[in-house]
A and B are shown apart, each in its own frame.
Chain A
Amino acid sequence: MDFFRQHILTIVAFWPVAGVIVLVFLNKENKTLIRWWANFVAFAGFVISLPIWFWFDFENSDQMQFIQKVPWIQNLGVEYHVGIDGISLLLVMLTTLLGPLALLSSWDAIDNRLKEYYAFLLMLQTGMIGVFISLDFFLFYVFWEVMLVPMYFLIGVWGGSRKLYAAIKFFLYTLFGSVLLLLGILALYFAYPGMAAQQPSLAAEFGTAHTFNVLAFQAMGSFLPAGLQWWIFLAFFVGFAIKVPMFPFHTWLPDAHVEAPTAGSVILAGVLLKMGTYGFLRFSLPMLPEGTKAFIPLMITLSIVGIVYGALVAMMQPDMKKLVAYSSVSHMGFVTLGMFALNPNGLNGSIIQQINHGISTGALFLIVGMIYERRHTREISQFGGISHVMPVFAVVFLIMTMSSIGLPLLNGFIGEFTILMGALQANLWYAIAAGSGIVLGAAYMLWLYQRTMFGTLDNPANQKLLDMNFREIVTVAPLIIMAFWIGLYPAPFFKAVEKPVNKIVLKVRPDFFQGAPQLNAGQPAVPAQGDAR
């Protein structure tokens, strides 16, 4: 058990690959066995990740936990260094939760090259978890790049009619960003020994040799010359903004989503996009505080443009999946808005909203996938009155619609409102401008719902549709539970992220708390509201 506890991150990350190795030896013709095995691996992956949540020390959520550190490429200073704080905890759990659901959704939908399909999905899972647990920038970059490959094949082989175009676009666009990201990493890598020579505190903790240690780079952030930070921020920005995606780097997303199989879309929207925002949180903000500050106006502007722009474009889409894809642009705009409001409310909300987006948009893609499996079209105009034949589906769709448009007591509201609260503390007009996205969000989602679910069932092709089956209900049920959990009792989620967030805020704005009690000591930043009254 001790071994398990100490190596849990590695085990959770590489468990899917271990499953793939077995998968490779299964008989290609025995599809049932392949399906069962792949789903078992993914589900077991979720189960073995659960102890992370229970063993995680929420009181010290800003400290890296479950650390494993082994030298890897010694003459470059590369280490296998993994660990999680509260932020990565939530993202790892989101990944291990969404992975099995994505696999389960493919049960009937995918029938060709099953073995390869599941192998790629499982490898993807390892790549994503790896990204969120890496504390070594080199290791991070390896996972970040490796993960592109399975996604490329998932879109390119099992995708829709324009799959090759979408797959290549996705791959090249992201790769383009990655190259700049790599340049930024190398700049930090080569800057480190010089900085460590000047700053004894840095040298004392992390040594003076070349290193890719993320924590060392974060510590270095306070000393790095502003001019250098500016350039590195720009390089990171391109890499991460493409991934998020932020306006105007978003156009690969609708294509990739529309062409990807359902599971691919779920993972893409649910987890992959979070890697961009995670990159900003983990690297750009703490490592480049001066660079961050210089770019706040740009980032806020792009966020707000993204919110409104994504919503308006989503509204007029004739294809359901494309609509949800553009809604992602809008929702991720909220995430980056909260992040660059650069105060605790904004950042806390931003992280919660990342989880929420994974849940709501993941579920919406599952929902669109279910209807596509039945009708082989996603044209909104092909539908109408579906509530008559698929009442359970109608309820599930309604709940997720409400979650997406931020109805209180569901998850979306908690994130959105907290983000807006943070934005308003930064500037009243940010909140007012971004608030329009909530109105538009209701408009496009309810219009979609009305056109598909309400009305008369006049298309003969829809009259014999079957309601959701047991497997499909099982697929969305966990997401519905999560939506209500976060909506009704978000305390554990806020607790996980608050301290890491305060640390980031302090890094960028050292005077933010104005001499309030030490944040890392486990005490609240300020007296609780109850005491103040």
Chain B
Amino acid sequence: MNFLDLIWLIPLFPVVGFLVNGLIGKRLPKSVVGIIGAGAVLVSFIFSAGAVLQLAQLPAEERSHTVRLYQWFDAGAAQTLGGQMARFQVDFGFLLDPLSSVMILVVTGIGFLIHVYSTGYMHEEDGFYRFFAYLNLFMFSMLTLVLGSNYLMMFIGWEGVGLCSYLLIGYYFHKKSAGDAAKKAFVVNRVGDWGLSIGIMLIFVSFGTIEFTAVGEAVREGLAAGSFSVSDPLFIGIALALFVGATGKSAQLPLYVWLPDAMEGPTPVSALIHAATMVTAGVYMVARSNFIFQMAPEAMAVVAVIGALTALFAASIGLVQNDIKRVLAYSTVSQLGYMFLALGVGAFAAGVFHLMTHAFFKALLFLGSGSVIHAMHHEQDMRKMGALKNKIPITFKTMAIGTLAIAGIPGLAGFFSKDEILWKAFSNPQGHVILWLLGVVVAGMTAFYMFRLLFMTFYGESRVDHHVEHHIHESPKSMTIPLMVLAAGSVVSGYLGIPLWLGGTNAFEHWLEPVFEPLPITQAAIVEHSHAFEAGMAALSVMVALAGIYLAYRKYYKTSYRAETEVASYGAAYPVLQNKYYVDELYDGLFVNRVKDAGVGLWKFDAKLVDGAVNGSASLTVTGANGSNWWDRWIVDGIVRFIGGFIKTASWPIRLIETGYTQNYALVMVLGVLIIIGYALWGGQ
């Protein structure tokens, strides 16, 4: 079977699942709903694997396969910036290349495991079918996002995952907090999309196309022909506009605020959407647009700085959170910051590598936390946990592996990918020692807060509520098996990219090379460092991580968790961190409430002034009409009546004779005749 030409089916299978479960799922038994939901994703995974294997057999430079289904739309002639005409046409097409193959494998592979897990986790829920329908719809959107062959296809997925995220965060829609979080996620993302759509439009008017491969070629051709130059404001503008979109979807400063709230959704959703796949869409998009970012080093610097700052900022909030899912949420924001740091210093492959390894261990950690929450009867507060190690051993062991992986302990996936990023942040021409330093500090903080989570949850004295205590149970197989598979992935996936200094070949970077081929731009020469130096740097970051672990060990293992001691140890910083730097309050004050004020103000303006003018002119007309009436009655008609009256008065003598009676006239006539006759007879003398 030629899977390469069938890649368009990959996003379509979940649509079938969505339709079946959405339309008739209510009447189906839960087991069937689960099989349809997970099965659709499994089929997508098989097709993805088949296509990727076939792609790998092609020579490296031919690993780009486009399948065009039909012309989605053709909106007519358009003027490009160069003054030429082009047509604004968009194909409904899919592109499989090394980058999208990594993405579809991650999305379908981890997606499948999370679907399986959900059959266990959501088993008690009434809206089981609804949940799986949404989840399948999400898979369709996410696969369209990463497989689309142009920016608008990507945008379909981009908005689609936003919708699914809205639906799934709001899954417990009877809770007001869930509804609020869902709306917040969508609207904040829309702010990002505003930037992204401007970016896409600018790409079209600059290159006359929005197909990824064609834009890439156009950039190369323009560069070769000398019509484009590095640091052209146009490229900086496009890159920054795209990046605004990325900060929304991938929860970076300043648009990260929706992600922690998104934890209102069921835990598998947090694992799938808010850790492993959707939130990495921004990373994917920037990596996909690497040819534009390479042309805009200033924008790259912005990406790197925002990434590093977000990593630090989110990690610091994560230090003191007590909700197990919130810790992981801030950790996700922080890890996404790492990925952007990598992209910003030009290490696109390293960013995508971390995207992949992170997908494994963060999905694992979220699902693990879900397993804990499941065991604890929906308790998420770590202050009410402790000593769960032996009660839910599989959950504990797998989560421990995930924690070690994210902390960057050598031998596990996180070490390889994080170390690659730190090294590139240091050694790449666009890198900087401060960026590296920030990265190392965050590594230490990550190790600290993750082990804090592990110790607070599984070690120490039990702080569990007595009613819950004896109900604690290990989760069913449908949940633990995905945990174990993901734990294996959290170790193994790192070995795809063993760096050269460890005697590896960095196969992962090689695989992505055709996509991230550097543009022929003269850059500062790469400073060569010895492998020993690189190893030393890696050792340093591991040491920092170990220091973080040791600190967590001292504070949360040796002495069991005490709220007072924790609060005291941070001093004045504690409330700031606990309240997330008051950013939500700040945004409410600066934007949300101001927009509402503007709405109310304009509404009043509309009613009083705009409509007032209309009603005013109406009442003016009425007043005018009354005035006219008066004028008409007393002046216009007044004059008429005055004249009439005057004539009437003046004509009084005449009226005496002008009586209107015929007999009077006859009388006068007769009198007249008599007078005339009399005159004729007697007047002559």
Contacts and interface: CB of A to CB of B under 8 A. Distances in A.
A529 B208 contact: yes
Contact of B88 (A313, A345, A442, A502): A345
Of B79, B201, B596, most A-chain CB atoms within 10 Å = B201
Nearest to B621: A172
B166 interface: yes
Given A251-B611, A455-B176, A494-B74, A533 B85 contact: no
B179 A454 contact: yes
Contact of A516 (B85, B170, B602): B85
A454 B214 CA distance: 44
A417 B151 CA distance: 13
Interface string A470-498: 00000000000000000011110011001
A30 B166 CA distance: 49
A309 interface: yes
A407 B73 CA distance: 15
B76 A348 contact: yes
A136 B540 CA distance: 84
Interface of chain A, main secondary structure: helix
Interface size bracket, B side = 35 or more
B77 A513 contact: yes
B606 A424 contact: no
Interface stretch (B98-106, B191-199, B299-307): B191-199
B657 interface: no
Of A409, A456, A529, most B-chain CB atoms within 10 Å = A529
A528 interface: yes
B598 A312 contact: yes
B649 to A, nearest CB: 45
B484 interface: no
A317 B179 CA distance: 19
Contact of A345 (B78, B83, B618): B78
B600 interface: yes
Contacts, number: 185
B76 A313 contact: no
A424 B204 CA distance: 10
A421 B182 CA distance: 29
B202 interface: yes
Interface in A161-179: 169, 172-173
Contact of B179 (A407, A436, A450): A450
A417 B179 CA distance: 28
B71 to A, nearest CB: 7
Contacts of B197: 417, 420, 435, 438
B76 A453 contact: no
A494 B75 contact: yes
Given A407-B163, A424-B198, A431-B198, A502 B77 contact: yes
A316 B603 contact: yes
A498 B76 contact: yes
A447 interface: yes
B228 to A, nearest CB: 17
A450 B194 contact: no
A99 B198 CA distance: 37
Contact of B78 (A314, A317, A343): A343
A446 B614 contact: no
A387 interface: yes
Contact of A312 (B155, B595, B611, B614): B595
Contact of B160 (A252, A345, A409, A533): A409
Contacts of A425: 78-79, 205
A51 interface: no
A349 B88 CA distance: 11
A532 interface: yes
Given A343-B78, A528-B87, A529-B86, A438 B190 contact: yes
Interface string A328-358: 0000000000000001110011000000000
Contacts of B166: 446
Contacts of B194: 435-436, 438-439
Contacts of A524: 77, 87
A344 B78 contact: yes
Contact of B606 (A313, A446, A454, A498): A313
A513 B85 contact: yes
A424 B201 CA distance: 7
Of B73, B75, B173, B599, most A-chain CB atoms within 10 Å = B75
Given A312-B599, A443-B187, A529-B87, A349 B174 contact: no
A294 interface: no
A440 B591 CA distance: 12
B156 interface: yes
B541 interface: no
Contact of B214 (A428, A432, A533): A533
Interface string B568-585: 000000000000000000
B201 A431 contact: yes
A74 to B, nearest CB: 38
18 contacts: A169-B618, A252-B614, A315-B596, A316-B599, A344-B78, A409-B160, A418-B73, A424-B205, A431-B198, A436-B194, A438-B193, A438-B197, A439-B187, A450-B179, A494-B74, A494-B75, A501-B76, A532-B208
Interface of B: 70-79, 83-89, 152, 155-156, 159-160, 163, 166, 170, 173-174, 176, 178-180, 182-183, 186-187, 190-191, 193-194, 197-198, 201-202, 204-205, 208-209, 214, 595-596, 598-600, 602-603, 606, 610-611, 613-614, 618
Given A436-B194, A455-B176, A494-B75, 10 more contacts: A251-B606, A385-B174, A418-B88, A424-B198, A447-B183, A454-B182, A457-B174, A514-B85, A526-B87, A529-B89
Q: Which 6 A-B pairs have the closest CB atoms?
A: A316-B599, A251-B611, A344-B76, A454-B179, A526-B85, A408-B156
